[in-house]
Amino acid sequence: MKDKLKKLFAYYAPYRKLFYSDMFFAVLGAVVTLVIPLVVRYITNEVVYFDAAQAGRSILMLGGLMVALVLLEIFCNFYIAYFGHIMGAKMEADMRRDIFGHYQKLTFAFYDNQKVGHLLSRITSDLFDISELLLRVLVSLEKIDPYAKELTVKGFLTCAPDREVLLYRFIRALYDIGRPLLRQLSDEAVLPLLRAVRHLDGEVHLLKGFVRFSEFEGTLAGEIRPKNRVLPLLRGHFCSRMYNEVFLLYDRNHREALVHRPGQWAIVPMESFRMAAPSAEEAQYRRLWKRFYDTIEIKERRNPRLRMSNMPKRYWETMTEFQDPSYFQPGADALPDQQKPVLPGGAE
């Protein structure tokens, strides 16, 4: 069950942007659906008691607002139906390609004992039902509670070894109990998933401050080694704050990288990545950062245990201030006449 669910959720990965936009319009459509009755109630409870002139103007304005809301709701439903089914069709095509590739590897003895029509129905009818189910489940979670969808999406990014099983139990219980389940934090269907998501959120929060970039000919590069798949959640933080930069952030554990240039970003698989040796200028900046880190320490108040509590040791491997001396030396190809940055007062 665990391996099957893991493989099933993996088909979402190539279509993350389409999925997120579909979920956005699902939320927007749900909000519009709630707003329209509120406008009607305001008219019946308040506007009808205004004087005739004011009531007429208010009804015209609110009528125009309701028309706009209905049009927006129609567009949201169109977007969900059209682009959601495009995503489902693409996922269906990926599944068919994988199954057909698997069929090609089977022995002749297998085909001697199977009906051709049954095998073809696996590629056609069965996969169509699966793709429709995947879309409907996510939209239904959004309608139950946006937080339920958030837990589901984040749950897949956690490092919990049985995360697919946890997600299955959570979704199954959510359909049985509904929104009240989200208030039952000690429920066995909620608590394990909630702990895993909190661990993910905590790691994302720490890495927003622990990521270190180096500059290579106008491109910034950094490396991390997280337990969870944090790049989808770190993307918004770094892309919004470094929107004018070209940068790459590589996840060593999950072998993927967040790549950004102004106006564009992507999370791509990357089997391996190794930083080039720094230029003389970059090496000097690294030494300056190391000196700053060492200088601000109050030696009389040194507390290694507290430091490891606030800055866990597993993050040190990719942080500039904890590297060995070779990390601060320029590469052999660095130009000797590159200007070194100078601190105020003439210190290097």
CATH number at residue 261: 3.40.1620
Sign of the alpha-carbon dihedral angle for 238, 239, 240, 244: positive
DSSP letter for 124, please.
Answer: I
Q: Which two tokens stand for residue 88?
A: 């489902």
Q: Tell me the average pLDDT across 286-292.
A: 93
Predicted confidence (pLDDT) at residue 116 exceeds the cutoff of 50: yes
pLDDT (0 to 100) of residue 344: 40
Query: 210, 236, 260: which is the final residue of a domain?
Result: 210
The continuous run of DSSP H or E covering 292 comes out as helix 280-295
Residues 188 and 219 in one domain: no
Whether pTM > 0.85 for this model: the answer is no
Q: Are 280 and 286 in contact (CB under 8 A)?
A: no
Q: What does each C-alpha distance from 157 to 163, 201, 232, 346 come to in angstroms?
A: 9, 10, 9, 48
Residues 8 and 133 in one domain: yes
Predicted confidence (pLDDT) at residue 121 exceeds the cutoff of 70: no
Residue of 226 and 163 predicted with greater confidence: 226
Residues 35 and 124 in one domain: yes
pLDDT (0 to 100) of residue 229: 93
Chain mean position to CA 65: 34
**Measured between alpha carbons, how far is 93 from 273 in angstroms, rounded to an integer?**
31
Strands 246-251 and 219-224: parallel
- State how many domains the chain has: 4
Residues 198 and 323 in one domain: no
Q: Tell me the average pLDDT across 138-144.
A: 77
**Residue range of the domain that includes 260:** 211-269
**Measured between alpha carbons, how far is 150 from 155 in angstroms, rounded to an integer?**
8
Q: Which two tokens stand for residue 192?
A: 């394990």
Residues 164 and 139 in one domain: no
Rounded to the nearest 5 degrees, what angle is found at the Cα of 151, between the Cα atoms of 162 and 166? 20
Cβ neighbours of residue 72 closer than 8 Å, sequence gap 6 or more: 28, 32
Lowest model confidence (mean pLDDT) among 50-54, 78-82, 115-119:
115-119
